Amino acid sequence: MAEQLHGQPLLRVTGLRKAFGAVQATNNVNIDVRAGEIHALIGPNGAGKSTLISQICGEQMPDSGSIFLDGRDVTSSAAFARARLGLGRSFQITELCADFTALENVVLSVMLRKGRPFGCWGNPRHDEALVAEARTQLAHVGLSSREQVAVADLAHGEKRQLELAVALARRPRLLLLDEPMAGMGAEESASMTRLLRSMKGYYGILLVEHDMDAVFALADRISVLVYGRTIFTGTPDEVRRHPEVRAAYLGEDHALQPALAATTPGEVHAHT
């Protein structure tokens, strides 16, 4: 793990800018994600987090700057091309096939990865290899007992778990998780935190999240985005103590709490 964390980053974003009229949504953003780490991205509403994620995924093209996936320049690449290079993601609002079962949703994701045409969909039980792989991913996220339940009948937290299984079925190396705890209660958030902790070391993860307890429990590094700028990147303890971060986002009470989990030491980069 130590070698992975200090090697070439899976994701490297440099000088990224995106404006909508007079609004500078991302303003010279620099961020990277190393293999096996969880790098959290935090900031107040309107900071530009969703715009940054959209640019990394290829849904929006930046005005300037560069995006590298595993050393390859993908700044102008389409979203599907980035997915083929090992980029997976989840969304703020769950995007699943509501009329399909949990198992069918994951089977569909496996089919997409394999380039299987939709015309041969049929009953997923007819293809033992597809079903076996889908069941492995459902077990990974703790949904083995819910495989035959329609998405519409799953609890909110279960839908978020299923979305992770769908993403993992594409066999990504890098995951972009956009507020995976959104709308969850305390018990569901704790369950998702345990699940993401179990994934640490197997995937590079860029985590966008407002649940600060989860962020500080999970992240190896945290970048703080304010008004489209990354104002600071460091370990959780370093972020807690940084005066500009405390003033802009965390507040005194949260910043002075003890760290929730051990973190990996690393360089601190200030962007002022």
pLDDT, the chain, mean:
84
Q: Give the pLDDT of residue 257.
A: 42
Listed in sequence order, the residues at least 6 apart from 253 whose beta carbon sits closer than 8 Å to its beta carbon are: none
Q: Which residue has the higher pLDDT, 256 or 6?
A: 6
Q: Give the pLDDT of residue 125.
A: 61
Give the bridge partners for 72, in sequence order. 69
Strand arrangement of the beta sheet that strand 221-226 belongs to: 87-90, 174-178, 204-208, 38-42, 221-226, 229-234, 269-270
Share of the chain above pLDDT 90, in %: 61
Average the pLDDT over 57-75 and give the result.
95
pLDDT band at 141 (very low <50, low <70, confident <90, very high): very high
Q: Which residue has the higher pLDDT, 261 or 133?
A: 133
Asked if pLDDT for residue 8 goes beyond 90, the answer is no
Helix (H) or strand (E) holding 11: strand 11-20
Q: Which residue has the higher pLDDT, 93 or 106?
A: 106
Q: Which residue has the higher pLDDT, 36 or 7?
A: 36
Q: Give the pLDDT of residue 153.
A: 95
Asked if pLDDT for residue 248 goes beyond 70, the answer is no
Residue 228 near residue 193 (C-beta atoms within 8 A): no
Q: Give the pLDDT of residue 264.
A: 34
Q: Give the pLDDT of residue 36.
A: 93
Q: Which of the residue ranges 167-176, 213-222, 241-250 would you say has the lowest mean pLDDT?
A: 241-250
Average the pLDDT over 34-42 and give the result.
95
Task: Report how far apart, in Å, the C-alpha atoms of 10 and of each of 95, 116, 169 are.
Answer: 25, 27, 19
Q: Which residue has the higher pLDDT, 115 or 13?
A: 13
Domain 1-86+173-272 has CATH 3.40.50.300: yes
Please state the domain extents for the chain: 1-86+173-272, 94-171
Give the bridge partners for 41, in sequence order. 208, 223
pLDDT band at 251 (very low <50, low <70, confident <90, very high): low
Average the pLDDT over 123-136 and give the result.
82
Amino acid at 150: A
Tens of pLDDT, residue by residue over 180-197, are 988 888 888 999 999 999
* Residue of 237, 137, 239 whose CA lies nearest to 195: 137
Asked if pLDDT for residue 3 goes beyond 70, the answer is no
Tens of pLDDT, residue by residue over 202-230, are 999 999 998 888 999 999 999 999 899 99
Q: Which of the residue ranges 22-26, 118-122, 141-145, 243-247 would you say has the lowest mean pLDDT?
A: 118-122
Q: Give the pLDDT of residue 144.
A: 95
pTM score of the predicted model? 0.83
pLDDT band at 119 (very low <50, low <70, confident <90, very high): low
